[in-house]
């Protein structure tokens, strides 16, 4: 609903809608815009397009990107850079695309959904205030008893408890985001997911 509203507002005011898909591009081959069927005018992408190598990119509507086109002479907007089209990053990006097949995306989505449900169920069982959010392979642990629906409500988390959670996971060999965010990756299997659930349960047992 929020993204649809942004699209409507941008169209109504003749503004460009820009999606930052640095994190969300992983949810589907076409990113979150494919996931929800809402298409921006420009998209910003991060190192996933280079297989994890340091690179970024952007793209969008043909009429907008034409401003950067140097094939017919000097472009309206010059876009030169030392690392533009870095061969190593581009090769790694192509290799990544070959690995990210539809069945892989499907497994990541299913594993992500199952993990979020299990984390929430464990928090409810131990009666520790927590809200688990996310889409596809993304998840976020919010240590709050309030519904988390936007950036403002995400600020209701317990910061000291969140810090304890971060170091608890770190001491168990899991690097969780300092604010409770994380994502699943292709190499992760049932062994890693089970370990994650157990580490979460030990934390809940400790702080309940």
- The per-residue pLDDT for range 86-119, each reduced to its tens digit, is 899 999 999 999 999 999 999 999 999 999 999 9
The tokens 């907008």 sit on which residue?
Answer: 64
Map out the domains of the chain with their CATH numbers: 2-99 (3.40.640.10), 102-207 (3.90.1150.10)
pTM confidence score:
0.87
Q: Which pLDDT value is given to residue 112? A: 98
Give backbone dihedrals phi and psi of 141, rounded to 5 degrees, phi first.
-100, 115
The dihedrals phi and psi of 139, each to the nearest 5 degrees, come to -145, 160
**The pLDDT of residue 80:** 82
What pLDDT, on the 0 to 100 scale, is given for residue 1?
Answer: 83
Low-confidence spans in the chain with pLDDT less than 70: none
Q: Is 183 helix (H, G, I), strand (E, B) or coil?
A: strand
pLDDT per residue over 134-144, tens digit each? Answer: 999 999 999 99
DSSP string computed for 10-33: HHHTT---EEE-TTGGGGSTTHHH
CA 2 to chain centre: 17
3-state secondary structure (DSSP) of residue 108? helix
Q: Which two tokens stand for residue 17?
A: 């809608």
């Amino acid at each position: 609903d929020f993204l649809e509203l942004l699209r409507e507002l941008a169209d109504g005011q003749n503004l460009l809608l820009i999606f930052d898909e640095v994190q969300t591009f992983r949810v589907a081959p076409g990113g979150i815009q494919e996931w929800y069927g809402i298409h921006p005018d420009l998209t910003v992408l991060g190192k996933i397009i280079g297989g994890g190598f340091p690179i970024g990119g952007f793209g969008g509507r043909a009429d907008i990107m034409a401003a950067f086109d140097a094939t017919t002479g000097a472009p309206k907007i010059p876009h030169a850079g030392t690392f533009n089209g870095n061969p190593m990053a581009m090769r790694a990006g192509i290799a990544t695309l070959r690995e990210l097949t539809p069945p892989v995306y499907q497994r990541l989505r299913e594993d992500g959904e199952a993990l979020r449900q299990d984390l929430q169920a464990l928090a409810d069982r131990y009666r520790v205030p927590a809200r688990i959010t996310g889409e596809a392979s993304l998840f976020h642990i919010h240590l709050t008893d309030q519904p988390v629906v936007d950036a403002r409500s995400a600020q209701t988390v317990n910061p000291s408890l969140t810090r304890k959670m971060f170091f608890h996971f770190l001491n168990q060999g899991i690097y969780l985001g300092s604010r409770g965010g994380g994502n699943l990756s292709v190499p992760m299997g049932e062994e890693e997911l089970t370990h994650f659930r157990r580490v979460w349960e030990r934390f809940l047992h400790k702080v309940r």
